[in-house]
Structure 1
Amino acid sequence: MKNRTFLGVLCFLIVAACNTEPKAIAYGSEGCHFCSMTIVDTQHAAQFMTKKGRSYSFDATECMFNYLQDVAPETIALYRVNDYNNPGVFIDAKEATYLISKNIPSPMGGNLSAFTTKEAAEKMQQEHTGSVYSWKELQSKFNKG
């Protein structure tokens, strides 16, 4: 009986340790992993989770890109960004479309916003001007300094 109890507890601990979801951002109290600014903006926050289950949160997508310059991509399980049109709702950062527009300020001044679809980003571009980017295009832009 003791062996079954021990095995049951061990299995529970192993499953509990395998975190497959990033932790929620504590808006208003959690600090950005890149710049240490308190994360308050639900339209521009970003986050990634490592394959080991550790979450890193950022007050702006540009902070995440800057932080990622020193992180091995093969260690990342997922990247998430807030959908500008749905504040507080995370979307897959690799599938998002981005707009850099001086008319839509972000917390760190990169003026970078994420959208669920290319059409949504282009609509916002028509209203506010700016340039539209994919995930890969932004990676190239940030890696060039």
Structure 2
Amino acid sequence: MNRIFLGMAASAMLLTACGKEQTYEPVEINPDIDVCDVCNMSITESQYATEVLLKDGSVETFDDIGCMVEYLNEQDEKTIGEKYVRDALSGDWVKLNKATFLYNKDYWTPMAYGVVSFSDQSSAEDYMKKEGKGEIMTLEEVMKHDWGGQQ
């Protein structure tokens, strides 16, 4: 009888654990040791840094959104837990699918992709107005953009 009860209790705990969604939080960049997983450059400009947190617990870091896009276009989405970019003004982490993106070939970014990210559209529009150039891009446009040999 005790074995049956223990088996039922263990099954109930497993089912409960299966129902919980895993959360993936960004990891702070250490400019002294972190390098981009695509171009191997040091990540010294952390406000442009991006991360992909994998379901196995590992973290892929990138110095530029363009490097992350290159990486993501070659990955199986099933292995990815979450993707983060940084707000170009505040430096706060923003989930990739929640960010607003601006592009201009003349925007400075570490690998010259010219894409900067923001936590909201208003901040992006203010930045674009201040710079006097740029265009808002959707995530889909960023992922499919023809970088024209930039890197």
> What TM-score results when the alignment is normalised by the length of structure 1?
0.78
Cα distance in 1 for partners of 2:125, 2:107 equals: 14
Other-structure match for 1:96: 99
Any gaps of 5 or more consecutive residues in structure 1?
1-17
| Equivalent residue, structure 2, for 1:31 | 35
Once the two structures are TM-superposed, the CA of residue 131 in structure 1 deviates from its matched residue by 1.3
CA distance in 1 between counterparts of 2:106 and 2:98 reads 23
Q: Segments of 4+ in structure 1 off by > 2 A? A: 18-24, 101-104, 142-145
Code of the aligned partner of 2:29: I
Q: Percent identity between the aligned chains?
A: 26
Q: Structure 1's 20 and 114: CA in aligned 2 closer, same or farther, altered over 3 A?
A: closer
Is 1:140 aligned with 2:144? yes
Instruction: Please list every run of 5 or more consecutive structure 2 residues that lacks an aligned counterpart in the other structure.
Output: 1-21
* Residues 75 and 127 of structure 1: CA distance in aligned 2, closer, same or farther (over 3 Å): same
1:104-144 deviation line (CA, Å, top 9, x unaligned): 30000011110000111112112221111121221122599
Q: How far apart are residue 60 of structure 1 and its match?
A: 0.8
1:2-13 paired onto structure 2 within 5 Å: none
Q: Which has the larger radius of gyration?
A: 2
| Structure 1 counterpart of 2:122 | 119
TM-score normalised by the chain length of structure 2: 0.75
Pairing 1:106–2:109 present: yes
Aligned length: 127
Q: 1:25 to 1:142 in 2, by over 3 A?
A: farther
Structure-to-structure mapping, 1:78-89, within 5 angstroms: 78-87=82-91, 89=92
The question of whether the paired residues in 1 share the 8 Å contact of 2:64 and 2:109 is answered with yes
* Counterpart residue type for residue 135 of structure 1: L
Give the CA RMSD over aligned residues: 2.2
1:62 aligns with 2:66: yes
Classify the secondary structure of the residue corresponding to 1:86: coil
**Is 2:68 aligned against 1:53?**
no
Partner deviation per Cα, 1:23-42 (whole Å, 9 max, x = no partner): 33212321100000000112
